[in-house]
Amino acid sequence: MSEQVIVDKIDKMERGGNLSSAIELCQSALQHDPTNPELHIRLGDLYLQKHFDIYQPKRFLDDVINHYQMALESNLDSDEIHYKLGVTFYCQGNIDKALNHLGISLEYNPKNHNACLMMAKILSKKNRISECLDYLEKSIKYGGLNASRPHHLIFSLKLRENRLFAYYHLLMSILKLPFDKEAQRETQLKHTAIKFLPVYLKGQYLEKTMRLLEAANLYSQTIEKAPGFIPLYLWLGNVYKTLGRNGEALNEYRMAIWLDPMNETAYKLLCTLFEENGDYIHAIETYQKLMGMNPNNAIYHSNVANIYYLTGDAKSAVSHYQTAIALNPNKHWTSIIAQTLGYIFHESKDNYDAAISAYQSASILNPTDIDIYLSLGSAYYDKGDFTNALNTYRLALEISPNNARIHCNLGFLLWGKGDIEEAVREYDKAISLDSNYDIAYNNLGVIYLDNLGYIEKAVENLTKAIQCNGKYALAHYNLGRALAIKGDKVEAARLLQVALNINASTHELDDMEIKMKLKELFD
């Protein structure tokens, strides 16, 4: 049987949907001609189609790569084989090898429109949009009528920012669809996925009505029929997670990744599960894989920074927060990240200048956020720069003159400067704006106790602080001090003991300070 007859038979079997028989025939032909590059390419193509068959559970990417590489041995300068290897390595999740083979393909043939398109897809994943668009334009130029796919990708990328331009490319994508066989295949796969819409809708209904076990059974039974349809594993994993069966949820998410190593949704769900379980090591590892796929995603950098901070690695946290800020997806979001970075410098590293710089960046991005000014003023205060702290709080008051927290912070600043009368005025203002402001009552009580010697007013305000917040160790401690001065040692001792008990969980004071005060009562 001649090679052409074999190829014709393989084509006929493929068109008839009988991939298994086509693969067997191709394997048989290769036994008689094991170095035939065309047959290796053909068998690699068939295995790739088989890999994407959602009704079978196996992966065939290793077989695909093996046959393409055997074909490459006889055609080292084949741009088409390098392109095919690039696509397969991408499907396998090996982006570096994918880019390497696609680059070689374009070196041998800069007009390979499919290689241009695949480069664009990878660059779009990495959020390198400008480079991506350049490759898409080349793919359209060199693909001619066989360029439905690059038009559609431009439509997806530009829809939000330039609707007219985007819809032009959508129209061109539709018009070229009859000439682009690969686009037709992708469209057919999407239509196949629509078959599972009833399963999804029924599953969502069962989940909403809390019939979770029925939903899990529905998804499991459907997986048995279509083990290659990846969303089913994600839906089932989400149900297991809701049921608290985290180990089974983990297995489903990992199965989705095994089937599609480039599935960002599966990785994100896996990250969330690891975080909720307190498994920060695996959460960080998974975020690193996500950042490998999409290094310009600011949210990934922000999320992994949060985890690094929780694990005590402030240096790594700062690095990733800074990257997130540099990427700057939008001003409001970036201002929050800049504020978080300022907090780390302020509280964890005692780097007041860096904290001030971060808070200032946040205020530029979001000039009406009062929390930023409060943090900035606090950083100036801790640095000892009372003038700038005062100016910051006054600027905040111009934005929100009736904000109790600003008046309370301003009172603390004035108290620290020794301007007691103005401090009392600010605390009174804070309390008039928020009658349940425990901190303002406590601080005002301490001023009356330690600075002015007005014991009754001190007791009155400290009592109100405790009424507002029964778990306020510092207020109990200060009221105990005030009552000790009044001579009520029994009640003072009780309050100091309560302060000690609360402080075991709130850590507002040094325990030794409270114990020393208790000891002084009866010396």
Cα separation of 116 and 18, whole Å?
31
Is residue 252, in this structure, part of any structural domain at all?
no
Residue 457 confidence class, pLDDT cut points 50, 70, 90: very high
Cα separation of 400 and 1, whole Å?
87
Is residue 505, in this structure, part of any structural domain at all?
no
Residue 178 burial class via C-beta count within 10 angstroms: exposed 0-12, middle 13-18, buried 19 and up: exposed
pTM of full prediction above 0.85? no
User: What are the pLDDT digits (tens) for 49-69?
Assistant: 888 888 877 788 999 999 999
Q: Which domain holds residue 84?
A: 3-192
Residue 109 confidence class, pLDDT cut points 50, 70, 90: very high
Is residue 364, in this structure, part of any structural domain at all?
no
Contact residues for 134 (Cβ-Cβ < 8 A; gap 6+): none
Is residue 412, in this structure, part of any structural domain at all?
no
Residue 495 confidence class, pLDDT cut points 50, 70, 90: very high
Is residue 310, in this structure, part of any structural domain at all?
no
Cα separation of 334 and 327, whole Å?
9
Percent of the chain with pLDDT over 90: 75
Residue 468 confidence class, pLDDT cut points 50, 70, 90: very high
**Can you give the pLDDT at residue 2?**
67
Residue 32 confidence class, pLDDT cut points 50, 70, 90: confident
Is residue 307, in this structure, part of any structural domain at all?
no
**Can you give the pLDDT at residue 150?**
95
Interior angle at CA 324, CA 320 and CA 328, nearest 5: 165
**Can you give the pLDDT at residue 1?**
56
User: What are the pLDDT digits (tens) for 363-386?
Assistant: 999 999 999 999 999 999 999 999
**Can you give the pLDDT at residue 358?**
93
Residue 349 confidence class, pLDDT cut points 50, 70, 90: low
Per the structure, the count of domains in the chain is: 1
Is residue 285, in this structure, part of any structural domain at all?
no
Structure tokens at 478: 């200060």
Q: Which long-range contacts (CB under 8 A, 24 or more apart) does 12-16 make?
A: 14/46, 14/49
Instruction: Indicate which CATH number applies to the domain containing 146.
Output: 1.25.40.10
Mean pLDDT within 260-282: 94
Is residue 331, in this structure, part of any structural domain at all?
no
Cβ atoms of 442 and 472 within 8 Å: the answer is yes
Judged against a pLDDT cut of 80, whether residue 276 lies above it is answered with: yes
**DSSP conformation class of 449:** I
